[in-house]
């Protein structure tokens, strides 16, 4: 996977939105996010069924219009149904090996890791990128593990050499420089953009901070 897609990786579910989630997503796309993950999970999340599927389809269409990869969290069946560009799975989700048996050849598969053992395994199994975190404490994920900090990220980067890594968990604008210096190829955020007064402008500033490492 090209590192450029991980630069500003936005994640959203209807329960992370203080206004229409499609409106937030469109603003974030206008601001220049480089990847999107539909993550319908946690308190007040839509529990599957037609409403969730319709939201996924509308989000997919928006991402296609802006030419941004559209991934789905955890739900491989839904991702297949709505023709997503890939999935993100964690340590307790379906394995990459099982997913590769049933998914299109060009699917992007991202895997979460909190330590270098998990990251090395994900790399060996053929993950396209690793989501490393939580880096800082977060209120967004109810079952988040202990934050590993920038030091934990650096340790994983040193163990993994060149695989694309996106940092996640409690990330705000002021963290971006240090995270990129600690080996991340990009940052993944939920609340920093979904709760922002101006999601478009916030996405734009995330992009300009990470551009320093790309241009």
Ligand X SMILES: Cc1ncc(COP(=O)(O)OP(=O)(O)O)c(N)n1
Whether 157 is catalytic? no
**Distances in Å between the alpha carbon of 84 and those of 79, 93, 146, 153?**
5, 17, 31, 28
3-state SS, residue 210: helix
Whether 100 is catalytic? no
DSSP 8-class letter at 171? -
Determine whether the annotation assigns residue 139 to a binding site: yes
Q: Is the Cβ of residue 4 or residue 145 nearer to ligand TZP in the bound state?
A: 145
Tell me, residue by residue from 36 to 65, as one string, x for binding to Mg ion by CB under 5 A and - for no binding: ------------------------------
Distance of CA 102 to the CA centre of its chain: 22
Considering only 14, 17, 62, 93, the residue that binds Mg ion (CB under 5 A) is 93
User: What is the rounded CA–CA span in Å between residue 210 and residue 185?
Assistant: 9
In total, the chain counts a number of residues equal to 215
Whether 112 is catalytic? yes
**74 in contact with Mg ion (CB under 5 A):** yes
Determine whether the annotation assigns residue 74 to a binding site: yes
Which structure tokens are listed for 142? 């109810």
CB of 139 to Mg ion, least distance (A): 18
Tell me, residue by residue from 116 to 145, as one string, x for binding to ligand TZP by CB under 6 A and - for no binding: -----------------xx---x-xx--x-
């Amino acid at each position: 996977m090209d590192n450029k897609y991980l630069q500003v990786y936005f994640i959203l579910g209807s329960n992370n939105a203080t206004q229409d989630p499609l409106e937030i997503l469109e603003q974030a796309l206008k601001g220049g996010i480089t990847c999107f993950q539909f993550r319908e999970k946690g308190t007040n999340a839509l529990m599957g069924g037609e409403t969730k599927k319709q939201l996924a389809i509308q989000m997919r269409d928006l991402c296609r219009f802006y030419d941004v990869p559209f991934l789905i969290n955890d739900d491989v069946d839904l991702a297949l149904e709505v023709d997503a560009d890939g999935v993100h799975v964690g340590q307790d989700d379906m394995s990459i090996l099982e997913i590769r048996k049933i998914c299109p050849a060009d699917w992007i598969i991202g895997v979460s890791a909190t330590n270098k053992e998990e990251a090395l395994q994900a790399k060996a199994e053929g993950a396209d990128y690793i989501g490393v975190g939580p880096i800082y404490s977060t209120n967004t994920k109810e079952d988040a593990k202990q934050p590993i900090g920038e030091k934990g990220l650096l340790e994983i980067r040193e163990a993994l050499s060149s695989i694309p890594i996106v940092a996640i968990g409690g990330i705000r604008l002021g963290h971006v420089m240090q995270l990129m210096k600690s080996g991340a190829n990009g940052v993944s955020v939920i609340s920093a953009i979904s709760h922002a007064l101006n999601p478009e402008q916030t996405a734009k500033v995330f992009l300009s901070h990470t551009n320093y490492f790309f241009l």
